[in-house]
Chain A
Amino acid sequence: MAEAPPLTPTILHVDMDAFFAAVEVLDHPELAGKPVLVGGTGNRGVVAACTYEARAFGVRSAMAMVKARQLCPDAIVLPGNFARYHEVSTQVHAVFAEVTDQIEAIGLDEAFLDVAPAVRRMGDPLEIAQYLRARIATTTGLRASVGIGTTKMVAKLASRQAKPRATATGVEDGQGVVVVPAGTERAFVAPLPVRALWGIGPSTAAKLAGVGITTVAELADIGEAVLIGLLGGGAGRHLSAMANGRDPDPVSGGRPVQSISQESTFPVDLHDAGELAAVLTEHAERVAAQLRSKGMVARTIAIKVRFGDFTTVSRRATQARGLNTGQAIAKVATDLLASVPLRGGVRLLGVGASGLSESADEQLTMFMDDGAVQAIEEEWTPVTTAIDAVRDRFGPTAVGLGRDLDASGLLDRTGRRPDRWGPTAPNPTP
């Protein structure tokens, strides 16, 4: 095959600046200019997002909330409002959709866009990036940074360089848009630490450091063969391509959902088997509701149990036919929990569904031993369909099961749990 012609950089990585925290500041203007943290407000929560004012204190997202509070004792800590972030994210994605249909969303606050189809209509990618930032600012009041490159990895690294920066004296505006022209990718990535590349986690970085490689330039120089020897075929080839600014992975719109999961960390460790089963059942219902809302079934159900000492146990079970009723998924999950020796209190419990599909095709088995689960699924499918129909018309708390009733009425079991970043503190800061 002939050498491909030089590519024009048309891949944009659009990343909202401090998204969740910025939405909070937007909704509560009195927070402007202050260090704001969004995340699990309890002792075991993690920081989901923070303003640049908080970053000046060394706070980062994914940091333990306890540590973040130590670094920045004056921070305003908010539990987050996922429904609101989702709403703003939808507005942002509507702006993307004005430009191109080749959008690969990564979470609520970032996306890759291939704008090649829009160049003739809207101008070069830099102009498109400036248009996007202006449109996002006028429709949502928020700021985004954009990186432009010939590959997704380069675009993502470029958007990071475009970001505002927190310094000891205040927040410095970033460039907003950074373009890496075609042919300069290698030079662009060369000075970066290897950890900046996708697919290099702490263990790979340590392996590379062991042979004296700490920058992308060193990684690029070492040659593919050596990397394959060090890291194995797949990883070696991948990293060699990345280090040279190549990444053949295209922007893929509409990547299918691979798994759905739900977990929660408890404010205090749970010891009681009944309480654990109740949490598992609630998670199973939420997972099932999300499956049904996507029109999918899951063949593999997994649970995750983290003990007080942080040891974590996962168990999974695969069914011959996909499930999407809360009862059947709860049955599989509680059976799995029963197989885990409970030593001490449980800190975190989760339920996950994978092996997702839209079809009800049945993988036949040699030994039929999951008849009980299938019977529950069949029994509950018509009931669940009826409940979903009522909820679609009258809302998620219009109808439900008796066990989801408390003094305030029926609890919403259809979406994600509100405490997804860790348990809420007894008295949140504001």
Chain B
Amino acid sequence: MKFRSERDALAEALATAGRAVASRGSSAVLSGLLLHCEGNTLTVTGTDLDLAIRVQFEVIGITDGTAVIPAKLAADIVRSLEPGALTIDAVEERVDIAAARSHFGIHAYPAAEFPNVATAATPTFHIGAKALTEGLKQVVRASSSDDARPLLTGVLLTNHDGGLRMVATDSYRLALRDLGVASGGLADSDILVPARSLNELARLTNGSGDEDVVGIAHSANEIAFTVGNVTISTRLLDGTYPDYRQLIPESYPNQLVVGKETLMNAVRRVRLLVRDNTTPVRLSMRSGGVDLTVKSTDGDASETVDGDYTGDEFTIAFNPTYLIDGIDAVLSDEVVIESTDASRPATVRSAEHTDFRYLLMPVRVS
């Protein structure tokens, strides 16, 4: 295999595909990136067996072929070269990287040992990249990092009124976002996508323009997202997601409407006294607004926030970090907090958009 490429194009491809490479892999070849040159197209693939990232771009192909190069070393070398053209020449298990005045000859891995990463199927539906990025940022944060609950480390994608619904929960809070699709649609089945791959997707689509779209193809056990010349594919999680619909109350007796920034800043301030991530913030709902208090081993803090409140006067406590995550995910100037009582889930949502909801379980204070 031999080709010529611009340093920047190759450096970017190696960095992007390299994000799928396992940091401590179970086999050496998985710490490598598969380069495949065919004609004038180079495909760079990295995988940790669960997640694969593939980047395709134009090079000047000289000889077709395949090589597996050490991901980190190759990325470091290419990035450090002088800007301009470079040549990669792989013969068996040696790869030569040559630029204007620099030359590296490094060991490669046997290409035959690299796992077979299926070529992604043709996307069955498309979705606006900007809206998807927004939705991912709102939802993925609520997923669990708890290995004892593997299903909750995923994000549920499901068909909802012809659009795409994304749901994530760690059992303490739940985020839900509905998105319209540009074309096609998810087959009428629930699929569970590992949050890690969606974080990679959000990284990739971050900064997308209004015109950009993400193509999505899925089978019973895999899903692939295509953004421009990059495809992220991942194994789906297997299992039945908890029935989230029954958790969402039909209506709430209590409703608070406050300015998003005002509330956010107030919670952040009182949270300064929380150093253990478990001390709750208490919200005392009253006509005309809400009072926030935190009591911790360092002292106490309180803050008054003006707003519109209808309902009974009562106090409810939340993990401040979970509350901030919810407020932050609301994309409008005013945030609505709806509640029933101090032990049932409250909802954080936007006053204007109905496509996002953040359900939050209280902390029972002793």
Residue ranges of A at the interface with B (Cβ–Cβ < 8 Å): 206-207, 209-211, 256, 299, 311-312, 315-318, 320, 322, 332, 335-336, 339, 355-367, 369
Contact of A336 among B147, B174, B247, B345 (CB under 8 A): B147
CB distance from A323 to the nearest CB of B (A): 12
CA distance A150 to B110 in the complex (A): 54
Contact across chains for A366 and B146 when beta carbons are under 8 A apart? no
Contact across chains for A366 and B147 when beta carbons are under 8 A apart? no
Contact across chains for B279 and A357 when beta carbons are under 8 A apart? yes
Contact across chains for B278 and A361 when beta carbons are under 8 A apart? yes
Contact across chains for A299 and B278 when beta carbons are under 8 A apart? yes
Contact across chains for B279 and A335 when beta carbons are under 8 A apart? no
Contact of B147 among A207, A312, A317 (CB under 8 A): A317
CA distance A209 to B77 in the complex (A): 11
Contact across chains for A362 and B172 when beta carbons are under 8 A apart? no
CA distance A316 to B76 in the complex (A): 33
CA distance A339 to B297 in the complex (A): 37
Known: A299-B278, A358-B276, A366-B345. A316 touches B147 (CB 8 A): yes
CA distance A366 to B149 in the complex (A): 13
Contact across chains for A366 and B361 when beta carbons are under 8 A apart? yes
Contact across chains for A365 and B171 when beta carbons are under 8 A apart? yes
Which chain B residues lie closer than 8 Å to A322 at the CB level?
Answer: 278
Contact across chains for A357 and B363 when beta carbons are under 8 A apart? no
Contact of B171 among A299, A336, A366 (CB under 8 A): A366
Which chain B residues lie closer than 8 Å to A359 at the CB level?
Answer: 278-279, 366
The majority secondary structure among interface residues of chain A is: mixed
Contact across chains for A357 and B276 when beta carbons are under 8 A apart? yes
Contact across chains for A363 and B363 when beta carbons are under 8 A apart? yes
Contact string against A for B residues 320-348, beta-carbon threshold 8 Å, 1 for contact and 0 otherwise: 00000000000000000000000101000
Contact across chains for B279 and A317 when beta carbons are under 8 A apart? no
Which chain A residues lie closer than 8 Å to B278 at the CB level?
Answer: 299, 322, 355-357, 359, 361, 363
Does B79 sit at the interface, judged by CB under 8 A? yes
Q: Which residue of A lies closest to B297 (CB)?
A: A358
CA distance A173 to B286 in the complex (A): 68
A-B contact pairs, 14 of them (CB 8 A): A210-B79, A312-B24, A316-B145, A317-B148, A336-B148, A355-B277, A356-B278, A358-B276, A359-B366, A361-B363, A362-B366, A363-B319, A366-B169, A366-B242
Contact of B76 among A210, A358, A363 (CB under 8 A): A210
Which of chain B's residues 230-258 have a Cβ closer than 8 Å to chain A?
242, 247
Known: A318-B146, A364-B362. A311 touches B247 (CB 8 A): no
Which of chain B's residues 304-322 have a Cβ closer than 8 Å to chain A?
317, 319
CB distance from A406 to the nearest CB of B (A): 32
Q: Which residue of A lies closest to B366 (CB)?
A: A360
CA distance A315 to B24 in the complex (A): 15
Contact of A363 among B149, B169, B247, B361 (CB under 8 A): B361
Residue ranges of B at the interface with A (Cβ–Cβ < 8 Å): 24, 26, 76, 79-80, 144-149, 169-172, 174, 242, 247, 275-280, 297, 317, 319, 343, 345, 359, 361-366
CA distance A211 to B78 in the complex (A): 11
Contact across chains for A361 and B364 when beta carbons are under 8 A apart? yes
Which chain A residues lie closer than 8 Å to B366 at the CB level?
Answer: 359-362
Known: A315-B147, A366-B345. A206 touches B76 (CB 8 A): yes
Which chain A residues lie closer than 8 Å to B76 at the CB level?
Answer: 206-207, 210
CA distance A264 to B148 in the complex (A): 23
Contact across chains for B146 and A362 when beta carbons are under 8 A apart? no
Contact of B363 among A211, A256, A335, A364 (CB under 8 A): A364
Known: A317-B148, A361-B365. A367 touches B171 (CB 8 A): yes
Most chain A CB neighbours (cut-off 10 Å) among B276, B345, B361: B276
CB distance from B272 to the nearest CB of A (A): 13
CA distance A361 to B364 in the complex (A): 6
Which chain B residues lie closer than 8 Å to A316 at the CB level?
Answer: 145-148
CA distance A356 to B24 in the complex (A): 29
Contact across chains for B147 and A364 when beta carbons are under 8 A apart? no
Which chain B residues lie closer than 8 Å to A367 at the CB level?
Answer: 171, 242
**7 pairs of A and B residues whose beta carbons are closest in the complex:** A317-B148, A357-B278, A315-B147, A210-B80, A357-B276, A364-B361, A362-B364
CA distance A294 to B363 in the complex (A): 23
Contact across chains for A365 and B361 when beta carbons are under 8 A apart? yes
Contacts A362-B364, A364-B364 aside, 5 further interface pairs with beta carbons under 8 A come to A336-B147, A361-B363, A361-B365, A363-B361, A364-B361
Which chain A residues lie closer than 8 Å to B275 at the CB level?
Answer: 256
Which chain A residues lie closer than 8 Å to B359 at the CB level?
Answer: 366
Which chain A residues lie closer than 8 Å to B319 at the CB level?
Answer: 363
CA distance A318 to B275 in the complex (A): 18
Most chain A CB neighbours (cut-off 10 Å) among B80, B144, B247, B362: B80
CB distance from B240 to the nearest CB of A (A): 12
CB distance from A298 to the nearest CB of B (A): 9
CB distance from B314 to the nearest CB of A (A): 15
Contact across chains for A311 and B146 when beta carbons are under 8 A apart? no
